[in-house]
Chain A
């Protein structure tokens, strides 16, 4: 081979290799998102959907894409979905629900080049030799505590109502934080808790809210998608509402004082970086007030709206 041909050969090979590398980098990062409810459930699934949309805006659609499967409350179907997405080469599969853990344990070992994430939990199954599962856990009690403090300062009756789904997981933590927050300001507060036994029974949630208010509560709070029924009652009868998962003020702008917005992106960003670098699992991402995973969204219209209104209407005389 002549020198000239050799140089051409090297040049072409380099260009080829370089473009290969660039092509590999130009592959978008693909995420599959499996959830037990819908993206517009105003609670659990919507908050993760919002996070994925945020990441997509940040990284751009060429770099980041996600597909989702809603209403996967049947765990066997979710497992089939997870397995399917994994076989199709998605980089990260988010199984957004604590009921999906056992499915992940079975599936993850079959797909060592795919990363799986689930929550709310602190279990990444390293004791079972699994290295490609991430976990995420919001410290719901922190958000609950802040809501509780605010609630205690605003309440005039000193009676508080909590409308929860089932006494497990985030709901349990949030409620305990809420109670602690109130008691830190008002040790004599009366905090009544009802568990309606379902994440979706809006009618029962609404009736529970009515009952809380009949029992004297002027502050209501709760978690999961059924709270829309309770928020409606708060609006109708003039109670303050404190929300969790997403900013719920749009539903009742004059009554939703603050919401604990769970910013899953705080966990997703480092997770994606780790996966790109080849580390497929084993870390637990905590979302709390310090790292911005929990954000308290305060709605001024509800917080001080009444006071401002009272001053304007002359109900409060200052001079």
Chain B
């Protein structure tokens, strides 16, 4: 193994070092609160990987992160910031649920396929609104997607406390804002008898599809061109506006699909506590983090989502076992994001140094010659 491979390995480890540095500050905070940090971190790892059930929980948590991450990959590659993940997840989930509630007698597999398609379509439309407004009216997408998030949340509240409230709730007089449980026929098949569901396989399949789209099709090439250099794309005849809208539509489609899968794979109904995060688990934001940790590459987003899911699941368990305030978990999550995103600097610096330093180049050459002898 020559110097170059060793350096590559070191660089790949930098985010992990950053992660550990953040954890060490967390250790300090935990210790101040009078809790044994070792016990805390042991619980973290156990919570994420300690048992079959834990791993299932991690993967189930990672699945919507992957869907959102894939959507973000497409959007960010086209140069548009899609912050509307939360709203698109909800719109996808709601539309799929409403369809299933209204056609309870269709066979299960038809319901599954159509409701997923409907979720995909509605998510696409919801994001498409932001895309259209940006492309043709120069309405900044950060503004429109954030506003659309709120509109989706209030729309969900309206539906859940009225038109699609579980009739059982009305009958019992408790008026809990949730829909009826969807029929078991629509449950996504389980992979193993745990909470692992088929949606994870769908997510991974789509990751591959997104890769193919972005790097093996003309459409994908143009999307990436628009993101890298809008002027040049326009000059070479690409309809920049149309591809911006397309990027949003594809992004929302993936995220909407993720929302629909959360319903038929995990919750089997929709509920609210006013905000959407009770249902989405803030995947609309965490998915952005996953995509960026995955270097905006659909295949890279798979392990990134998995690790982020592990972190979130493990942190949950840690809170329970050592009884630390959940706010500390939040602060720790934030620190980890900051450290990892800040550590990119060192990686970039290292790779630049490697390319520019003649001594290292020379050393690599000598090594190669020695190996060839």
Contact = CB atoms under 8 A, between A and B. Distances in A.
A84 B278 CA distance: 19
Contacts of B273: 36, 73, 97, 99, 199
Contact of B279 (A68, A75, A173): A75
B173 A122 contact: yes
Interface centre among B161, B181, B316 (most CB of A within 10 A): B316
A84 B266 CA distance: 17
A36 B53 contact: no
Contacts of A137: 174
A73 B272 CA distance: 10
Contact of A76 (B154, B175, B281): B281
A215 interface: no
B113 to A, nearest CB: 24
Given A85-B320, A197-B154, A122 B172 contact: yes
A113 interface: no
A172 B175 CA distance: 8
B241 interface: no
A200 B267 contact: no
Contacts of B277: 73-74
Nearest to B315: A77
A11 interface: no
A98 B176 contact: yes
Interface in A54-87: 67-77, 80-81, 83-85
A270 interface: no
B325 interface: yes
A84 B317 contact: yes
B268 interface: yes
Interface centre among A81, A83, A168 (most CB of B within 10 A): A168
B369 to A, nearest CB: 56
Given A69-B326, A99-B273, A74 B53 contact: no
Contact of A197 (B157, B168, B279, B316): B157
A248 interface: no
A173 B53 CA distance: 39
B323 interface: yes
A275 B327 CA distance: 33
B251 interface: no
A173 B172 CA distance: 13
A109 to B, nearest CB: 13
A73 B280 CA distance: 10
B275 A73 contact: yes
Contacts, number: 103
A165 B326 contact: no
A70 B172 CA distance: 28
A46 interface: no
B61 interface: yes
Nearest to A98: B176
A114 B157 CA distance: 33
B347 to A, nearest CB: 32
B319 interface: yes
B267 A168 contact: no
Which bucket holds chain A's interface residue count?
35 or more
B176 to A, nearest CB: 4
B174 A121 contact: yes
A200 B181 CA distance: 27
A168 B157 CA distance: 10
Given A69-B319, A76-B61, A169 B271 contact: no
Contacts of B325: 70
A213 B272 CA distance: 30
A123 B168 contact: yes
A70 B313 CA distance: 15
Contact of A122 (B53, B161, B174, B316): B174
Interface centre among A73, A83, A165, A169 (most CB of B within 10 A): A73
A190 B79 CA distance: 54
B157 A99 contact: no
Contacts of B269: 102
A83 B317 CA distance: 11
A98 B174 contact: yes
B313 A102 contact: no
Interface in A163-209: 165-169, 172-173, 197-200
A169 B175 contact: yes
Contact of B177 (A70, A105, A168): A168
Contacts of B281: 74, 76-77
B115 interface: no
A142 interface: no
Interface of A: 36, 67-77, 80-81, 83-85, 97-99, 101-102, 105, 120-123, 137, 165-169, 172-173, 197-200
Given A122-B174, A168-B161, A198-B275, 20 more contacts: A36-B273, A67-B323, A68-B323, A69-B320, A70-B326, A71-B327, A73-B273, A75-B279, A76-B266, A83-B53, A84-B317, A98-B174, A101-B176, A101-B178, A102-B178, A102-B269, A121-B172, A121-B174, A168-B176, A169-B174
Interface of B: 53, 57, 60-61, 153-154, 157, 160-161, 168, 172-178, 181, 266-269, 271-275, 277-279, 281-282, 312-313, 316-317, 319-320, 323, 325-327
26 contacts: A71-B327, A73-B273, A73-B277, A73-B278, A74-B282, A76-B61, A76-B281, A84-B320, A98-B174, A98-B176, A98-B177, A98-B178, A102-B267, A102-B268, A102-B271, A121-B172, A122-B172, A122-B173, A122-B174, A123-B172, A165-B274, A166-B272, A168-B177, A169-B175, A197-B157, A199-B274
